[in-house]
Amino acid sequence: MTPFRLTSTVRRRSLALFAGLLIVAPPHAEASAASVAASATAATALAMQSRATRQSKRPTPKKKTPTKRSTRSTRAGRTRAPIIPVLRFTSPRGEAALTSDLTTLLGSRTRNGEWGAMVISITRGDTLFAHGADSKMVPASTMKLFTSAIAFEKLGPEHTFSTDVLRDGPLEANGVVRGDLVLRGDGDPSMSPRFVRGGPDASMTMLARFVAGAGIKRVTGDLVADASALEMRGIPEGWLTRYAGAGYAAPFSALTLNENIVIVGITAGGAGGAATVFLEPATRGLTITNTVRTVAGSSTRISAHRVGNDRVVVSGVIGARAGTVRYQLVVGDPATFTGGAFRAALEAQGITVDGALRVGRTPDNATLITSLPSPPLARLISTMNRESINIFAELLFRGAARGTDKQTLGSAENASATLHEFMVRQVGAAPDAVSVTDGSGLSVLDRVTPRSLVQLLAHAHRAPWGSAFHASLPVAGESELLRNRMRATPAQGNLHAKTGTTNEVIGLSGYVTAENGEILAFAFLYNGKDRWHARETIDAMGPTMAAFSRE
């Protein structure tokens, strides 16, 4: 029989228990506190003796022979990155303090690139800060401020665009149009679910119902899509080729539907069978090539792409339990796409068109059947600025060139000339201060000066349409693209401005009310690679202006 050995663990627990019994157990009536303390001391001594015995039995560790280290110490060679404090806004008192603080902020973070900045007091009419104010810089989406201003100036906040349906031929008593049916575009950006409820098809469905309500049942001629109000070039000069296919760079057209995005939907069939592919909005302007197979399970591997301007090719596999999946594609020919969607909507209303779908012009003697108006321009510009929608800007830029009489072609060339005249004659900018090729700021050829931006802001503030212009801008810490910026600072709920962001541009330009009640207009533009630090800098300068007060 193996003799029982008291292991070190058992020994420690036994001694602890013994000590606990001596200390915790209630004493007899005759026992004194001294005897209890003596017992506890004895137990402690016994435990210490046991620990010493164990330690004496442990083998003595051998001395390690020091290894020869290389002259380069890996630990000593490491350097920790310095902790850089977050930029904080200041509360400058007096013009000199504001200039000093903004200058310090401007140079404290960005490691490269170029800054252009200017701050003026609209209330007092003086310049509070200027740094590279006349440098010609890429504006990115702050360009939309110029587009907003000329659209308000030339069209007015209450202006609406109108997409019309006309007939080129008589309407017989039996509901037959002997001739063509024309869908005429006006550059309306609102024919999408942003403004018309019911999905991507809703705008064309509404127009088709209006046509049916006019008593039309059949058209013997063609369906003509007229997008001649604007230039036919859908991609502005200066847009990079890598933008192609991106939703933010969809081509524009006088006939624009769903912001010229088509949604490709794929619904699984039975395992081993074919899947169903559909388009939203439904359109006769695109054909579908579908080779998608349904497989067991829920995994999906699908490719959807456009071939040319008139065909969508969808291939791959979809799991039987995957349900319906959707992909977005940019449209190549917006006029045909929109005309095709109108034709599909007419068919859904029981109206047949005998002829073909084609792009053309409205005959001079055509008769108006019905129209679909847009929301007022003020709402369109508010949506454009708050969400920075490029296709809205391109359409409104060219719409401003057309004016209310609609006698001028809506082209970038005419719009640029309209903007130049407005800036020089009405705003007072230098003739070379603004040079642009588009209305959204996506073009790498656009150049503006910070001074021209604040001059524009000062003019807009006093213009009859100034309140609509102010209301269109995102508010710091509260709305759209500024919702998460400058929170819990004096700029929140106060500063309202247009953002501008690309891979090499960070900009912010707008208005802020200083602590003493002055309304300030500002423009901050950064062109360079260090855009995250540039944004941090701007987000410190905004509250600094809001906290400013003169001595």
The band of 319, judged by pLDDT with boundaries at 50, 70 and 90, is very high
Q: Would the pLDDT of 445 be above 90?
A: yes
387 close to 209: Cβ distance less than 8 angstroms: no
Domain boundary among 357, 375, 393: 375
Neighbouring C-alpha atoms within 13 Å toward the C-beta of 242: 3
Identify whether residues 456 and 525 lie together within a single domain: yes
Rg, the chain, Cα only: 37
d(CA 503, CA 506): 8
Q: Would the pLDDT of 390 be above 80?
A: yes
229 close to 403: Cβ distance less than 8 angstroms: no
Partners of 498 in the β-ladder: 509
Tokens at 81, concatenated: 């990155």
As a whole number, mean pLDDT of residues 351-364 equals: 98
Q: What is the pLDDT of residue 23?
A: 34
Length, in residues, of the chain = 551
Q: What is the pLDDT of residue 248?
A: 96
Domain boundary among 317, 352, 375: 375
Identify whether residues 380 and 278 lie together within a single domain: no
As a whole number, mean pLDDT of residues 186-199 equals: 96
Q: What is the pLDDT of residue 550?
A: 92
Q: Tell me the pLDDT tens digit for each residue of 128-181.
A: 999 999 999 999 999 999 999 999 999 999 999 999 999 999 999 999 999 999
- When divided into structural domains, the chain yields a total of 2
As a whole number, mean pLDDT of residues 414-440 equals: 98
pLDDT, greater one: 53 or 419: 419
As a whole number, mean pLDDT of residues 22-39 equals: 36
CA distances from 489 to 75, 98, 107, 478 (A): 42, 17, 21, 12
Residue 42 lies in a domain: no
Q: What is the pLDDT of residue 79?
A: 64
Identify whether residues 538 and 390 lie together within a single domain: yes
Q: What is the CATH number of the domain that holds 443?
A: 3.40.710.10
State phi, psi for 111 to the nearest 5 degrees.
Answer: -95, -10
Identify whether residues 363 and 409 lie together within a single domain: no
Of 522, 519, 521, 515, the closest CA to residue 538 belongs to 522
Residue 192 lies in a domain: yes
Residue 183 lies in a domain: yes
Domain residues for the domain of 342 are 161-375
Q: What is the pLDDT of residue 466?
A: 98
As a whole-number percent, the residues of the chain with pLDDT over 70 amount to: 85
Neighbouring C-alpha atoms within 13 Å toward the C-beta of 523: 32
Identify whether residues 343 and 440 lie together within a single domain: no
Identify whether residues 318 and 451 lie together within a single domain: no
As a whole number, mean pLDDT of residues 280-301 equals: 96
Residue 301 lies in a domain: yes
Tokens at 397, concatenated: 């830029």
Residue given tokens 């599909």 in the structure block: 344
What's the mean pLDDT when you consider all of the chain?
A: 88
Identify whether residues 109 and 229 lie together within a single domain: no
Identify whether residues 482 and 425 lie together within a single domain: yes
Q: How far is CA 247 from the centre of its chain?
A: 11
Residue 357 lies in a domain: yes
Domain boundary among 319, 347, 375: 375
Residue 59 lies in a domain: no
As a whole number, mean pLDDT of residues 526-533 equals: 96
Q: Would the pLDDT of 59 be above 70?
A: no
Q: What is the pLDDT of residue 86?
A: 72
Q: Would the pLDDT of 124 be above 70?
A: yes
Q: Would the pLDDT of 506 be above 70?
A: yes
Residue 79 lies in a domain: no
Identify whether residues 321 and 417 lie together within a single domain: no
d(CA 372, CA 507): 36
Identify whether residues 292 and 148 lie together within a single domain: no
As a whole number, mean pLDDT of residues 420-433 equals: 98
The band of 353, judged by pLDDT with boundaries at 50, 70 and 90, is very high
As a whole number, mean pLDDT of residues 413-424 equals: 98
Q: What is the pLDDT of residue 18?
A: 35
The band of 52, judged by pLDDT with boundaries at 50, 70 and 90, is very low
As a whole number, mean pLDDT of residues 433-437 equals: 98
pLDDT, greater one: 498 or 74: 498
The band of 239, judged by pLDDT with boundaries at 50, 70 and 90, is very high
The band of 551, judged by pLDDT with boundaries at 50, 70 and 90, is confident
Identify whether residues 135 and 210 lie together within a single domain: no
Identify whether residues 361 and 415 lie together within a single domain: no
Residue given tokens 């469905």 in the structure block: 205
DSSP annotation string for 276-292: EEEEES--TT-EEEE--
The band of 83, judged by pLDDT with boundaries at 50, 70 and 90, is low
This prediction's pTM:
0.84
Q: What is the pLDDT of residue 184?
A: 98
160 close to 377: Cβ distance less than 8 angstroms: yes
Q: What is the CATH number of the domain that holds 268?
A: 3.50.80.20
Residue 406 lies in a domain: yes
